[in-house]
Amino acid sequence: MLAAAILQEFLDPARVWKILLIGLGGTLLVGWVWSLSLARHLRLLRELRYGWAQVGDALEERLTLTNQASFPATWVEIEDHSTLPGYRASLATITDSHSVNTLTTGGVCQRRGLYLLGGTRLLTGDPLGIFTVTMDDPASRTLLVLPPVIPLPEILLTPGGYLGEGRPRERAREETVHAISIREYRPGDALRHIHWPSTAKFDRLITRQFESHPASDRWILLDLNQHVQAGTGADSTTEHAIILSASLIDRELRNRQAVGLAINGAPPRWLPASRNEPQRWQLLHALALAEPGMCSLKDFLLHGSQSLGRHASLVIISASTETDWLQALAALLWRGISPTVLLLDAASFGKSGSSLPLCQELQRLGVACQIIPRDLLDRPEAHPGHSGRWEWQQSRITGKVTTLQRPEQTEWHRLT
């Protein structure tokens, strides 16, 4: 339009073309200065309230848009490039000159895994949209979404060890190196069991109390061979097996049981057994990133079984209906390993075949076996993921609102 007005003024000079040239030129100049000012003085800050979450947890993010320019931003588009499924912080807004606009976005973590929150693209410009300002910020933050941990019904696991698992018993004939408590010294207690720091503190002899059986490691073996899986997405044997593994790990660690994890996935992983709190984080982290692989359960047992200590307790979680891996399992029995097999009922996930023949064959070998139905982890009371959620209750009489639940972590963390 400006070029046409210049041409008309050159060919046929008239007042109307001068007015049009001044109007168009002024509009372009004002739009350019407006956009340049926003490009120099408009800033966006993204802050995340939580650094990790579980499936089902709420996610909250705060976006602070600061405009220090002398011109208002009449339109601002924020494009979010996060990889978290089902979550986008993209939005459109406006902001006045010399002002701060704070926005809050939220979502729900739908799938386990490691994701990126960010980067961000901010689009703005003059009110007429003649000039567009694009600002890209590659800053991002990783968000680890752990698999849910749910309360389990009674699932009996075959204990390992020489004497079997049981409650502590004083002066047992066999004791471990794991002290579970302290008590006053009694005649007949071994002097090597005296706890000298506590003796000095209480000014009397204090002795350590040990477990009454050798501490056997508990190993969770998760079979993620992709050829035996059934179902899709969250409604699959893969996800149910991971939830079952995470829930068993949580239960055993709460019982002060040393737990190790073996994942027959891509890639295969062996995590040594331990009973401390960092072990919980390490095992759940591995489960969050676990994916199905090509290795069969038979080959996995043959090549990785040397990592299992003698007299360990092994829990195999699988959706397999084949019997080709039973020979490798029998070799573990000869080594004194005590296995328990939890078979996910593949038929309930839409796969042909039944887990019952395999379970019966395992029982003939003297191996404890349980078939885990599909609805075991879909019970109404199994609702994991309440972190980041607010819950209120309003009194019917006074109308006063009280907080029933608030997020445990309320500080904000900048995306870096």
Query: 3-state DSSP helix/strand/coil percent for the chain, to nearest 5?
Result: 30, 30, 40
Which amino acid belongs to residue 189? D
- CATH number among 2.60.40.10, 2.40.30.200, 2.60.120.200, 3.30.360.10, domain 2-146: 2.60.40.10
* Residue whose structure tokens are 């829930």: 247
**pLDDT value for 99:** 94
Among the listed residues 257, 260, 220, 227, the one whose alpha carbon sits nearest the alpha carbon of residue 242:
220
Per domain, the residue ranges of the chain are: 2-146, 179-210, 218-377
Alpha helices in 290-369 (DSSP H): 297-304, 326-334, 356-364
Architecture of domain 218-377: 3-Layer(aba) Sandwich (3.40)
Q: Which residues share a beta bridge with 179? A: 210
Query: 67: how many CB neighbours lie within 10 A of its CB?
Result: 23
DSSP state string for 92-107: EEEE-TTEEEEEEEEE
* Residue whose structure tokens are 């029933």: 404
* Residue whose structure tokens are 């879909």: 378
How many angstroms separate the CA atoms of 305 and 120, rounded? 47
**Tens-digit pLDDT string for the chain (416 aa):** 777 767 776 777 777 767 777 778 888 889 999 999 999 999 999 988 766 788 888 888 889 999 999 999 999 999 999 999 888 889 999 999 999 999 988 888 889 999 998 889 999 999 988 999 999 998 888 888 999 888 887 788 887 654 344 434 344 434 444 555 677 887 777 787 888 888 888 888 888 766 544 457 899 999 999 999 988 888 899 999 999 999 999 999 988 888 999 999 988 999 998 888 889 999 999 999 999 999 999 999 988 777 777 778 899 999 999 899 999 998 888 888 889 999 999 888 888 878 899 999 999 988 999 999 888 777 654 555 555 444 545 555 555 555 455 545 556 556 54
**pLDDT value for 42:** 94
How many angstroms separate the CA atoms of 80 and 64, rounded? 14
Residues with Cβ within 8 Å of 272's Cβ and at least 6 positions away in sequence, in order, are 260, 307
